[in-house]
Amino acid sequence: MNDQHSAYDPNQIEKAIYEDWEKSGDFHDEPDDRIPYCIVIPPPNVTGALHVGHALNNTIQDVLIRFYRMRGFNTLWLPGTDHAGVATQSVVERRLWESEHKTRHDLGRDVLIERIWRWKDEYETRILSQLKRLGCSCDWKRTRFTMDEGLSRAVREVFINLFKENLIYRGKRLINWCCQHRTALSNDELVYEPAKGQYWYIRYPVKGDSSQSIIVATTRPETMLGDTAVAVHSTDDRYKHLHGKTVILPLLEREIPVITDDELANPKKGTGAVKVTPAHDPNDYECGKRNDLQFISILNDDGTLNENAGPYAGLDRYEARKRVVEDLATRNLLVKVEDHEYEIAHCYRCHDIIEPYLSDQWFVKMAPLVELARQSVMDDEVIFFPQSRSKQFLDWLDTTPDWCISRQIWWGHRIPIWYCTVCNPDIKINEKGDILAIPGDAEPLVPDSSSINASVSQCPKCGNSKTVQDPDVLDTWFSSQLWPMSTLGWPDKTADLQYYYPTNVLVTARDIIALWVARMVMVGKKYIGKKPFSHVYIHGTILDEHGNIMSKSRGNGFDPIKMVDGGSEEIEDYRHDPPEKRMEHYKAYGADALRYGVMSLAAIGQDIRLIISRQKRDDDSYDVEVLRFEEGRRFCNKIWQVAHGVILQQCKNVKPVRNTSSYLEDRWLHHILAHGIENMQQAYTEYRMASACDHFYHLFWDNFCSWYVEIVKPRLWEGPEESADYARFHLVEALIIFLKLIHPIMPFISEELWRKLKPLAAQAGLKDIESSLIRAPWPDAGQFKKDDDTAQITETARAIAATINNIRSEHDAIGEHVKLPEVIITSSSSISIDPLRPYIKGLERFVKTNKIRIESDMIRPEQSAAGVVGNIEIFIPLAGLIDFEAEKQRLAKKISQAQADLEKILKKLSNPSFIDKAPAEIIEKEKIMRAELESVIEKLNQNLELIE
């Protein structure tokens, strides 16, 4: 009989199955009297296509949704995308510059926004189709976008509400400014990186006495143009005589006071005197407020210097730095320069160096809100997996400043605030009608309603209708924080919101715990009075084999869909200068193999290293293989082969045999199924995806395929008929269970085999097989009887089989496929061997022997090989198997060869000059070889003794 069936080809089935699920409405539920299980997707940004990290994140969610769907919950996995303000606008602006050499100002607000909407439509479509290709069973009828009408209304509702509660305010603050993006950023959007810089020591002459001066040190010399004081410590004797005096700011010749500020000046650091630039440094800013200093901003929003910089106006900040240093040096005011390493903040999107920048921005007062989030975690309303991640959450709550929510870009939710241009004549508007600046003291007006078309068309004070809307948009996270509520219909009290909120679990990566997770908890508690989710599952990050984060721009990432469907792609590797291009070819692994590969590595709290091999072809392109996906593909193929070759072929005339089987292996199968169902259920429930893969692999491959299927084959072929009936029934019954258990991870192959198996399952009288597998009920472990005695006997039988196969492989003279004339199993205790009798027939075939004899208390026959399992001995008589004379000679030759090799190594190891000079790992290698050879010689001698 031939077990081989045509290999599994995922491309033949996956797309058709997905379409069927979609058509049948299998992803959609409406509120009813079942228990809900809901996940809202972390909305992918519409900046580009999905990467391998998304494949991990979304597969986990799909596994959970499919598992709970099968368990009878009313499930909703709500999909959608995020407009990702700064990120998306900058991608589109970059494209605009590359292709048309235009800036956003050439296009104007409306045209740019229209372009970004087109970009969004294109990428949203692409992202959603990628999710479908991965098998994600999202409820596409409920797909949302952070800027669609309903979600925009939720944003307005919260903004207006917080504004009316005085929890949103506008103020002049020193904020983080990205000169590339020309917008404010919140603290959470910065990345700190070490930088090599300098300390410049500059001399400020004292007014009226050019013989005296104060020396200050700075890492940013150009900011001296905005200095409004020099601060010293009140107890610093070096400067006591200068208290109350003034110094002349070099280059601009401006007179500035010497002040005492014990918080800013540290007598032990540098010269003890510091320059104070309140408009360009956070510490100086506080000092400026304490001492009522002038705030002089010297920067334009694009990083060039403004009119306050005198002769340096118009220069870029780095050019200005060079010129300032040169000019100081020529005037002999530069005392010295020291190298200095420090941490510097960069924009998390464009990596430009962030400038502290004084401007009018909108802020959310955080103190009252963080308390709500803290309580939720402290009271275990929201539980983190792994638990340790809750610390990151709480730490952020403790330290977060007020949240700067205004962004000086166009793509996003425009701030729902209007100003009267008559009451505020300082509002600057250019000829195009663009608002250039809103003075800090302009009075904000909010609309009465949160409807997205509502505006303030008339000034309540002067009755004029000349009002303008604030030009800024809100931080992306302002809308993302509402995602679990707004996608379900809030602020309306919809049936969905009442039924599905709070959701069950948020599956996300650790880098947005503060940016996103904490804020969702805050607003959920504030506006609904309930947490947004019960669990937060923080999964690891996907890394390459060297531990680097994967991304296409680094040249070590890949498009997950290319791995599913196969194909080729040109990769640009930016790690090289100039960037290297290479062509890569991918084979089609199919979605199931990729899902299994990624899930088999997803252990709680751990990053995931993917080993990728790139083999160069003759034409300098590369074949790319991912080891884990390869394993997934191999596993799919095994499932496919066993299902077809053994079960679908051999069990065509399966019959319903209801009563309990008297066959040992059948009872054992039920025993492992009962445990298997429990283990899988527990692993899925506890987010242990890698364990679920391990359990299933062991259950299906090691236990079912490598043992049960092999042991029952004689019953299928030779009968008796009743025995074959039971075997067929159990094979079909077990496969039904296996398909259910693995469906959440490998949905396609399981659904396809389920369809093929259904007629046989019906013939066997099995229940709950009517629907598609996606809607089939999760198996009940209680339907199978656990039987520890049977498990014990089976373990012994398997150990005996393994021992026999070991002996065979140690005696290469026997030959791999030669049938052993006889195997004897014996023990002094008949209790040990009698229960094995039912396994004899299966075992005989399994270990390839004509006969297994069970004897009590037998002595080892002459010229036989032997093995031991517990108190059982196994003898394999070798007469007739081996030509003893020839084997003696062969063994003797091998022994002398091995001994010669050993001699050489021993000589090396006793040579002092080798031991002294050779690297440690070479010596270690020799020692390992020595041990190996010694054990080989021992084995060979034993075998020789045996036949002498």
Which part of the chain contacts Zn ion (CB under 5 A), choosing from 27-35, 196-204, 313-321, 347-355?
347-355
Q: Residue 225 or 420: which CB sits closer to Zn ion?
A: 420
Q: Kindly state whether residue 427 participates in binding Zn ion, applying the rule CB under 5 A.
A: no
**Contact residue for Zn ion among 335, 350, 543, 895 (CB under 5 A):** 350
**Residue numbers 743-772 binding Zn ion by CB under 5 A:** none
Query: Position 481: which residue type?
Result: Q
Look at residues 257, 218, 260 and name the one whose alpha carbon lies nearest to residue 239: 260
- The DSSP result for 341-388, as a single string, is EEEEEEETTT-PBPEEEEEEEEEE--HHHHHHHHHHHHTTSSEEESTT
Beta strands at 608-609 and 542-543: parallel, antiparallel or unpaired: parallel
Closest contact distance (angstroms) between CB of 14 and Zn ion is: 40
Q: Residue 423 or 512: which CB sits closer to Zn ion?
A: 423
Closest contact distance (angstroms) between CB of 186 and Zn ion is: 13
**Contact residue for Zn ion among 347, 639, 801, 823 (CB under 5 A):** 347
Q: Residue 184 or 505: which CB sits closer to Zn ion?
A: 184
Over its C-alpha atoms, the chain yields an Rg (Å, rounded) of 37
Q: Counting Cβ atoms within 10 Å, is residue 207 exposed (0-12), middle (13-18) or buried (19+)?
A: middle
Those residues with Cβ within 8 angstroms of residue 571's Cβ, 6 or more apart along the chain or in another chain: 552, 555, 558, 581, 582, 583, 584
Q: Per the structure block, which two tokens stand in for 475?
A: 């931080």
Closest contact distance (angstroms) between CB of 704 and Zn ion is: 55
Q: Residue 214 or 474: which CB sits closer to Zn ion?
A: 474
Q: Kindly state whether residue 191 participates in binding Zn ion, applying the rule CB under 5 A.
A: no
Q: Per the structure block, which two tokens stand in for 64?
A: 């959970």
Q: Residue 421 or 832: which CB sits closer to Zn ion?
A: 421
Closest contact distance (angstroms) between CB of 189 and Zn ion is: 9
Beta strands at 168-178 and 435-437: parallel, antiparallel or unpaired: unpaired
Q: Kindly state whether residue 462 participates in binding Zn ion, applying the rule CB under 5 A.
A: yes
Closest contact distance (angstroms) between CB of 350 and Zn ion is: 3
Closest contact distance (angstroms) between CB of 178 and Zn ion is: 3
Closest contact distance (angstroms) between CB of 461 and Zn ion is: 5
Alpha-carbon span 757 to 744, nearest angstrom:
18
Closest contact distance (angstroms) between CB of 421 and Zn ion is: 8
**Residue numbers 464-483 binding Zn ion by CB under 5 A:** 464
Look at residues 589, 505, 561 and name the one whose alpha carbon lies nearest to residue 10: 589
Q: Kindly state whether residue 178 participates in binding Zn ion, applying the rule CB under 5 A.
A: yes
Query: What is the x/- site pattern for Zn ion, positions 792-831, by CB under 5 A?
Result: ----------------------------------------
Look at residues 4, 16, 103 and name the one whose alpha carbon lies nearest to residue 751: 16
| Residue count, binding to Zn ion (CB under 5 A) | 13
Which part of the chain contacts Zn ion (CB under 5 A), choosing from 2-10, 226-234, 414-422, 564-572?
414-422
Q: Kindly state whether residue 420 participates in binding Zn ion, applying the rule CB under 5 A.
A: yes
Q: Kindly state whether residue 423 participates in binding Zn ion, applying the rule CB under 5 A.
A: yes
Cis amide linkage into residue 425, ω under 30° from 0: no
Q: Counting Cβ atoms within 10 Å, is residue 629 exposed (0-12), middle (13-18) or buried (19+)?
A: buried
Which part of the chain contacts Zn ion (CB under 5 A), choosing from 181-189, 287-295, 701-709, 776-784?
181-189
Closest contact distance (angstroms) between CB of 438 and Zn ion is: 14
DSSP summary character for residue 443: P
Q: Residue 60 or 427: which CB sits closer to Zn ion?
A: 427
Q: Per the structure block, which two tokens stand in for 508?
A: 């996300």
Q: Per the structure block, which two tokens stand in for 572?
A: 């640009």
- Mapped onto helix, strand or coil, the DSSP state of residue 545 is coil
The CB density around residue 303, as the number of other CB atoms within 10 Å, is 20
Beta strands in 441-596 (DSSP E): 467-469, 473-474, 503-509, 533-539, 542-543, 567-573, 580-586
Strand order of the sheet with strand 612-616? 567-573, 580-586, 622-626, 612-616
Annotated ligand binding at 552? The verdict is: yes
Tell me the CA distances in angstroms from 349 to 39, 57, 86, 745, one per residue in order.
28, 21, 8, 34
Alpha-carbon span 930 to 901, nearest angstrom:
9
The DSSP bridge partners found for residue 816 are: none
**Contact residue for Zn ion among 40, 113, 127, 459 (CB under 5 A):** 459
Q: Residue 286 or 352: which CB sits closer to Zn ion?
A: 352
Q: Per the structure block, which two tokens stand in for 93?
A: 């602006």
Closest contact distance (angstroms) between CB of 257 and Zn ion is: 36
Q: Residue 457 or 899: which CB sits closer to Zn ion?
A: 457
Those residues with Cβ within 8 angstroms of residue 716's Cβ, 6 or more apart along the chain or in another chain: 650, 724, 727, 728
**Contact residue for Zn ion among 143, 169, 172, 180 (CB under 5 A):** 180
Q: Kindly state whether residue 422 participates in binding Zn ion, applying the rule CB under 5 A.
A: yes
Alpha-carbon span 686 to 807, nearest angstrom:
42
Which part of the chain contacts Zn ion (CB under 5 A), choosing from 406-414, 455-463, 551-559, 629-637?
455-463
Which part of the chain contacts Zn ion (CB under 5 A), choosing from 293-301, 348-356, 501-509, 523-531?
348-356
- Mapped onto helix, strand or coil, the DSSP state of residue 592 is helix
Which part of the chain contacts Zn ion (CB under 5 A), choosing from 63-71, 138-146, 454-462, 599-607?
454-462
Closest contact distance (angstroms) between CB of 96 and Zn ion is: 16
Query: Position 277: which residue type?
Result: T
Closest contact distance (angstroms) between CB of 409 and Zn ion is: 10
Closest contact distance (angstroms) between CB of 515 and Zn ion is: 16
Alpha-carbon span 711 to 844, nearest angstrom:
9
Closest contact distance (angstroms) between CB of 234 and Zn ion is: 41
Which part of the chain contacts Zn ion (CB under 5 A), choosing from 7-15, 176-184, 286-294, 867-875?
176-184
Closest contact distance (angstroms) between CB of 301 and Zn ion is: 12
Tell me the CA distances in angstroms from 125 to 143, 347, 501, one per residue in order.
11, 29, 27
Q: Residue 515 or 624: which CB sits closer to Zn ion?
A: 515
Alpha-carbon span 404 to 173, nearest angstrom:
9
Residues 801 and 843: beta-carbon distance below 8 Å: yes
- Mapped onto helix, strand or coil, the DSSP state of residue 110 is helix
Please, how many CA atoms are within 13 Å of residue 121, restricted to the half-sphere of its CB? 6
User: Any idea how long the chain is?
Assistant: 948
Which part of the chain contacts Zn ion (CB under 5 A), choosing from 223-231, 325-333, 335-343, 451-459?
451-459
Q: Residue 105 or 461: which CB sits closer to Zn ion?
A: 461
Q: Residue 324 or 345: which CB sits closer to Zn ion?
A: 345
Q: Kindly state whether residue 461 participates in binding Zn ion, applying the rule CB under 5 A.
A: yes
Task: State the distance between the two ends of the chain, measured CA to CA, in whole angstroms.
Answer: 41
Task: Name the residues that contact Zn ion, by CB under 5 A.
Answer: 178, 180-181, 347, 349-350, 420, 422-423, 459, 461-462, 464
Query: Which residues are annotated as part of the binding site for ATP?
Result: 552
Query: Which residues are annotated as part of the binding site?
Result: 552
